[in-house]
A and B are shown apart, each in its own frame.
Chain A
Amino acid sequence: MEISELKAELEKLHHASFGWALNCCRHNRSEAEEVLQTVYLKILQGKAIYRGESKLQTWLFAVIRKTAATEHRKQVLRSLITLGSPAEKSSSEPELELEWSELQRRFRQALAGLSKRQRETLHLVFYQDLSVAEAAAVMNISIGSARRHYERGKKRLRESLDREGVDYGIQWRRKENSGVVL
């Protein structure tokens, strides 16, 4: 695929890619931006080559996931060397948290309570609208494992939301998001 063609395709997937990068970076916006930029750099330098063996989205998401993991590892190492701030940053910026509604905050908390794999599977299926098989390909695990993470994650999320008393589905939506069909 030509680089101009690839660029056009990447532009179409940009928002979805950013959402996935956010998920991989524990909803840290600046980190997600950096990861996405590194991914584009890898593509430009030919370090990440799309060979058409899978869907472009699946391939791109796998690259983002791997890059985010590498960046996170580097960050942990850097913090260990400098003995400075702890490796885990706060999951999101405080000014953003102020804008979130109570229900949205609870939903994010419930998501944070899941294991990494469960969160990733649910994100890929519900947020990115991928099938479980495609999610498995992105996460580089078997379909069986992905299905197991999906089921367990869904169950835990439901329990967590029930515990929090979130009437999810009706009251949670904001005014500007009235287009969402339940």
Chain B
Amino acid sequence: MEFSGDEKRIQALFSELSLEDQTRAPRFEKLWLRAEASASAPAPLVTRLVLVATVVIVTMSFVAVHSWLSSSQSQQVANIPAQIIPTTAGLRLQHSEPSTASRNVARPRRFARRQTDRTAITQAAMLSNWQSPTNILLNSPTVSVLGSLPQLNQSARDLEQFLPKKNNELLKESKQ
């Protein structure tokens, strides 16, 4: 780049600065060898620790999410109204509590039983509420007529209403 006037002077100042820096610059070989040594060295302990911590956090969060999902499912089961389900499961759940010593031993088994009970309750609720998709075809407006029996002489009495009154009286008189 061509400089003129003040620019030349500024460049002279920078050249001076450059010479000053060059005298203090570290040797290329020194920096290159250090870089090579760092490149071949294994990852530092901090990096490895960070990696392990990341893996642990990811695993723990996965487990937490999984357990939360399962607990929310069980809550949904608990929301089913109790009157719909006439089962013995409720009675079974109200068994007398075992002693504290055996409680810890029986905990996993009890947990499994509770799970099965909950599944059974859900299935029972679903079955009791089930309706056939063709159920609607069985309903008709004449259902009340078809579903009730007619009374004796009902048709004759119905006919009397339609007959003219005078004729009836005339008939009675002629008969007399």
A107–B21 CB distance below 8 A: no
B25–A14 CB distance below 8 A: yes
B34: interface (CB < 8 Å): yes
Task: Give the dominant DSSP class at B's interface.
Answer: helix
A125: nearest residue on chain B (CB-CB)?
A: B1
| Count of chain B residues with a beta carbon within 8 Å of a chain A beta carbon | 30
Least CB distance, A118 to chain B, in whole angstroms:
12
A174–B34 CB distance below 8 A: no
A44–B39 CB distance below 8 A: yes
Interface residues in B1-51 by Cβ distance below 8 A to A read: 1, 3, 6-22, 24-26, 28, 31-32, 34-36, 38-39
Docked CA distance A44–B40 (Å): 10
Number of A-B contacts (CB under 8 A): 99
Interface residues in A138-180 by Cβ distance below 8 A to B read: 154, 157-158, 168-169, 172-174, 176-177, 180
Docked CA distance A154–B12 (Å): 14
B14–A127 CB distance below 8 A: yes
Q: Point out the residues of chain A lying under 8 angstroms from B22, CB to CB.
A: 15, 18-19
B8–A182 CB distance below 8 A: yes
| Count of chain A residues with a beta carbon within 8 Å of a chain B beta carbon | 44
Q: Point out the residues of chain A lying under 8 angstroms from B1, CB to CB.
A: 125, 129-132
A131: nearest residue on chain B (CB-CB)?
A: B1
Interface residues in A81-102 by Cβ distance below 8 A to B read: 96, 100
A60: interface (CB < 8 Å): no
Least CB distance, B57 to chain A, in whole angstroms:
20
Q: Could you pull out 25 A-B pairs where Cβ atoms are within 8 angstroms?
A: A11-B32, A15-B21, A15-B25, A18-B22, A19-B18, A19-B22, A33-B26, A33-B31, A37-B35, A40-B31, A40-B35, A41-B38, A43-B35, A104-B16, A107-B16, A126-B7, A126-B11, A127-B17, A127-B18, A154-B7, A154-B10, A168-B12, A168-B13, A169-B12, A182-B12
Give the A-binding residues of B (Cβ under 8 A): 1, 3, 6-22, 24-26, 28, 31-32, 34-36, 38-39
List 7 additional contacts besides A7-B32, A19-B18, A38-B35; criterion CB under 8 Å.
A40-B31, A107-B13, A126-B3, A127-B18, A158-B6, A169-B8, A177-B19
